[in-house]
Amino acid sequence: MVEMLALEGRWNSRAADKAGRLASIAFARNGKILDAGHIVEVLERLIRPGDRVCVEGDNQKQADFLSRSLAAVDPERVHDVHLVLSVLGRPEHIDLFERGIARKVDFSFSGPQSLRLAQLVEDGRVEIGAIHTYLELFGRYFVDLTPNVALVAADSADAAGNLYTGANTEETPTVVEATAFRNGIVIAQVNEITGVLPRVDIPGSWVDAVVVADRPYAIEPLFTRDPAEIDDVAILMAMLAIRGVYEPHRVRRLNHGIGFDTAAIELILPTFGESLGLRGEICTHWALNPHPTLIPAIESGWVESIHCFGGELGMERYIAARSDVFFTGPDGSLRSNRALAQTAGLYATDLFIGSTLQLDRDANSSTATRGRIAGFGGAPNMGSDPHGRRHASAAWLALARGEDGIARGRKIVVQLVETFRASGVPTFVERLDAADMVGKAGFAIAPVMIYGDDVTHVVTEEGVAYLYRAANVDDRRAALAAIAGVTPVGMERRQERTTALRAAGVVAFPEDLGVRRGDARRSLLAATSMADLVRWSDGLYDPPARFRSW
Amino acid sequence: MTPTALRRSYVESTPRERIAALADPGSFREILDPFARCSSPYLAEQGVVAQRDDGVVVGRALLGGRDVAAVAVDGRFLGGSIGEIGGAKIARVLERARDGAFLLLDTGGIRLQEANLGLLAIAEICDAIVALRERAPVVAVVAGRVGCYGGMSVAAALCSQIIMSPVGRFGLNGPEVVEQEAGIEELDARDRPAIWQATGGVRRVEQGHADVLVEDDLDELARALRDAFRASPNRERLSLERLRNRFAQEAPR
Amino acid sequence: MQRIVVERSGGVPVTKRAHVGAVASGNLEVLCEPPAEARATIVVSTSVDGFEPVWRATLERFLERYPIAAAIEINDFGATPAMVSLRLEQALELAR
């Protein structure tokens, strides 16, 4: 049937093309199973110069067998590839450009490769289409960036090509859906092929071939923060965030960035939060990766639900045993989905809180600093106000604006930063490094992570700036200066102005919020070590080796 | 369930808090506190900022009514390393101890910046321990983040008893040194489970290299410390005879 | 290594000695004592050079917020201004 249609010509050329490509790899294919020994040859035959190729690089799992194999193809045969992927995080992703296999990239995040990527740009060896938010990139997969070939990763497959992606489903459904339903080719690397899968995450009819990788797909415990490394300053900032933002706005639905300061918030909910009587009043529903530091709050009855972007190594047994809280399959394991969790984070949460590397006087925020092109991951979607939102909640309405009966609420977007980073570099700067990147490296616009007009609150060790309450730009800048410490921005603060802003509730210092700086001590943490987290979990949490001190 | 509310962590406490919590309440009298400003004269010229107590807290305290010397090494300052001043503080307080001593060791051993002076200081400490243990208990506690390595592991081995927690590590060479000298095939210094399996508190007590294992809990440690003082003060350890016996038992025939 | 001294006359003297912190990475040791005369003197030794303006601004703001008379010594191992302010406040709480 499909072949018949293909012969009809101009309206079915994609299907015909797909059939031709698949025929070219028949030598290595036995049913849906590909011979791993021929993988490089297979990729050379499948991928045409100029193709859009997605090599699944998620925030967590990596299709690294396939990306390593792709980096080994002959650049004479495969070149000018347009790479589309969430996370350009593997060394071999960069090798693709250095070897002339790939030419252009559209992506969201490049964390570990940010330096090498900046070098490629400098050398003119890569063309960056755009650095997207996750949802923006996923959206474009279904509009003008649909992959011709998708190389994805799964835990296991059966002979029919059904895939089990377990806790780290992440991007796979989105990438496969876009590719498979536009006559692209989907190849999945799997850790093993088994008779019966724990559950089917991707139907076999969407998958053209599976190949057993030389080793399990690469994944790092990115969301594990050792409580031993949380310092008193982070605890002070956590107390300010709870008293200054969560409590007054009754924030129940939220997302936390990764960082020791947000981990500190999670760890003082059962102590400080409990003493304020806030259990059940705040932090009940989360769009969040399975942060081990949230275990004490979960065990203390704070948390009703958590939907995850991806999994976290070591949390598998704990999650399986807490299916009331997490989204799990009938097999007990976590089901994650970045597109849906990002949608939840954008539309269904009332608050995003996270850190950044630089903030300017207008609270524009960026992690792009000189010599690094890192991208932003999940922050720009969750750290933005979805103007189309309709449903109301107490927290959203707390920031309502508008008049004549047509008021609407607002997402609470908090930047939680120490005034200076550990290296002595100021967080508050007169001008973002990102602003100097316009026009260079193919950036049509400055790589800003969160736009200042979306930022409603900034919390530092000095206090809280309620930017959304500022009457005008001048007040906004003065409020930010009031909590920016001795950074260049903070040195502009003036005593009388600050006093007036405190009186107007645009700025709050710790004493205004009933927070005693002296109380900011590690003894407030519900867990002070990884061993404590294991104890809280009743032994169900199994931290990766590098985090163990026993 | 609130696991941490139930206990006071030794790891989380400062050296002074540790001594205060383990000794009889209110009995600790520090000698040469930070305000005495007995810090290392050698660090500044090497571009290193000195800590005013040289990373060592010493004094007299009561332990179950006994008048003992109390020592705590501050693992936060230069890895709890022993230099001339800190080493002399320990040696002198041990030499003057009446009814025994307890040493809270969180130390990587000799301070590299002071080289031979640290080595000499540790020799004096060992000497003082051997002299004191003949007439009273000398008990070492190894339960901090740094562990007890290098020259100070020899000092610990000379004590009447060693109390450890699972967090504590105890060995002659630290993992980084082993990796550097013997190669990464012998030990990968980042392989934390391997390190604790070889030198951690649980293992050391199993092997008999340490005597008592307690959790990271000041109250439990305080009890273990008092029990150790009630045990025989002249328990033999690290003697040549004992090593010969062990060798005879364990060597393959 | 750098030494920085900040002084300010007047102020309410602290009554007790206080010692907090440690010379550990990202941390600092603070010694706070009743002063010999009615002034605040803060003497800093820091392992990191080149941050004198940041130190001065941080310490001057501390003395603005808490007009005390005290002899304060800081031994620093690369602490951030936030950590410096917090340790000073912890010391002051014990010394007043």
CATH number at residue A370: 3.40.1080
Rounded Cα distance between A316 and A539, Å, is 12
Is A233's CB within 8 Å of C57's CB? no
pLDDT band at B246 (very low <50, low <70, confident <90, very high): low
Residues A487 and A422 in one domain: yes
Contact between C80 and C40 under an 8 Å Cβ cutoff? The reply is: no
**Domain boundaries, given as residue ranges, for chain C:** 2-95
Cα-based angle A325, A326, A327 (whole degrees, multiple of 5)? 130
Is B47's CB within 8 Å of C47's CB? yes
Say if residue B233's pLDDT is above 80.
Answer: no
Rama region for A441: left / alpha / beta (φ>0; ψ in -120 to 50; rest):
left
Q: What is the ipTM for the molecules in this complex?
A: 0.96
End-to-end CA distance of chain C: 31
Chain B residues whose CB is inside 8 A of the C35 CB are none
Chain A residues whose CB is inside 8 A of the C26 CB are 231, 422
**Domain boundaries, given as residue ranges, for chain B:** 15-250
Strand, helix or coil at B251? coil
The minimum CA-CA distance between B200 and chain A, rounded to whole Å, is: 7
Say if residue B227's pLDDT is above 70.
Answer: yes
Nearest to A224 by CA among A346, A368, A60, A357: A60
Helices (H) and strands (E) in chain C, counts: 2, 6
Residues A72 and A172 in one domain: yes
**DSSP H/E element including B238:** none
Nearest to C78 by CA among C13, C26, C2: C26
Orientation angle between helical segments C81-95 and A232-241, nearest 10 degrees? 90
Is C19's CB within 8 Å of B74's CB? no
Say if residue C90's pLDDT is above 90.
Answer: yes
B3, B4, B192 ranked by CB distance to A549: nearest = B192
Rounded Cα distance between B246 and C12, Å, is 66
- Residues of A near B (CB-CB distance < 8 A)? 228, 270, 299-300, 522-523, 525-529, 531-532, 535-536, 545-550
Inter-chain Cβ pairs, chain A and chain C, closer than 8 A: 49
pLDDT at A2: 54
Rounded average pLDDT per 10-residue block, chain A, 550 residues: 59 95 97 97 98 97 98 98 97 97 96 91 90 96 98 98 97 98 98 97 98 97 96 98 98 96 98 98 98 98 98 97 97 96 97 96 90 86 94 94 85 98 94 85 83 97 98 97 97 96 98 95 96 97 93
Q: Which chain C residue's Cα is nearest to B36?
A: C31
Phi/psi at A276 (5° precision) = -90, 0
Q: Tell me whether B192 touches chain A (CB under 8 Å).
A: yes
Chain C residues whose CB is inside 8 A of the A233 CB are 80, 82-83, 86
Say if residue C72's pLDDT is above 50.
Answer: yes
The DSSP symbol for A244 reads I
Rounded Cα distance between B110 and B124, Å, is 13
Whole-number Cα distances in Å, B18 to A446, A451, B222, C32, C71: 52, 48, 10, 22, 27
Domain span including residue A58 = 2-212
The minimum CA-CA distance between A384 and chain C, rounded to whole Å, is: 28
Query: Which of the listed CATH numbers 3.90.1150, 1.20.120, 3.30.230, 3.10.450 matches domain C2-95?
Result: 3.30.230
Q: Which chain B residue's Cα is nearest to A546?
A: B192
Strand partners, C6: C42
Position B180: which residue type? Q
User: What residue has token string 């009331």?
Assistant: A324
pLDDT at A121: 87
Q: Tell me whether C31 touches chain B (CB under 8 Å).
A: yes
User: What residue has token string 């005008």?
Assistant: A472
Residues A393 and A483 in one domain: yes
Q: Tell me whether C67 touches chain A (CB under 8 Å).
A: no
Contact between B151 and B119 under an 8 Å Cβ cutoff? The reply is: yes
Is C22's CB within 8 Å of B76's CB? yes
Contact between A260 and A223 under an 8 Å Cβ cutoff? The reply is: no
Contact between A39 and A187 under an 8 Å Cβ cutoff? The reply is: no
Q: Tell me whether B7 touches chain A (CB under 8 Å).
A: no
Which chains reach chain C with 3 or more Cβ–Cβ distances below 8 angstroms? Answer: A, B
Number of folded domains in chain A? Answer: 3
Nearest to C5 by CA among C47, C48, C49, C60: C60
**DSSP H/E element including B243:** helix B240-250
Rounded Cα distance between B157 and B169, Å, is 13
pLDDT at B251: 65
Rama region for B82: left / alpha / beta (φ>0; ψ in -120 to 50; rest):
beta
A420, A491, A518 ranked by CB distance to C82: nearest = A420
Whole-number Cα distances in Å, C39 to A316, C62, C63: 59, 14, 11
Is B192's CB within 8 Å of A535's CB? no
C24, C31, C46 ranked by CB distance to B35: nearest = C31
Whole-number Cα distances in Å, C90 to A30, A286, A323, C14: 70, 35, 43, 13
Is C45's CB within 8 Å of B49's CB? yes
Residue B89 exposure: Cα atoms within 13 Å on the Cβ side? 28
pLDDT band at B242 (very low <50, low <70, confident <90, very high): low
Rounded Cα distance between A104 and A442, Å, is 11
Residues A108 and A196 in one domain: yes
Nearest to B88 by CA among B118, B115, B59, B44: B118
Fold of B15-250: 2-enoyl-CoA Hydratase; Chain A, domain 1 (3.90.226)
Chain A residues whose CB is inside 8 A of the C54 CB are 420, 424, 486
- Extract the tokens encoding A419: 């005034």
Contact between A346 and A386 under an 8 Å Cβ cutoff? The reply is: yes
Q: Tell me whether C82 touches chain B (CB under 8 Å).
A: no
Residues A369 and A509 in one domain: yes
Position A215: which residue type? R
Residues A112 and A56 in one domain: yes
Is B34's CB within 8 Å of C31's CB? yes
Residues A180 and A40 in one domain: yes
Is A527's CB within 8 Å of B3's CB? yes
Residues A395 and A431 in one domain: yes
Rounded Cα distance between B78 and A321, Å, is 43
Whole-number Cα distances in Å, A215 to A63, A189, A193, A199: 11, 10, 13, 22
pLDDT at B1: 47
- The CATH number of residue A77's host domain is 3.40.1080.10
Q: Tell me whether B9 touches chain A (CB under 8 Å).
A: yes
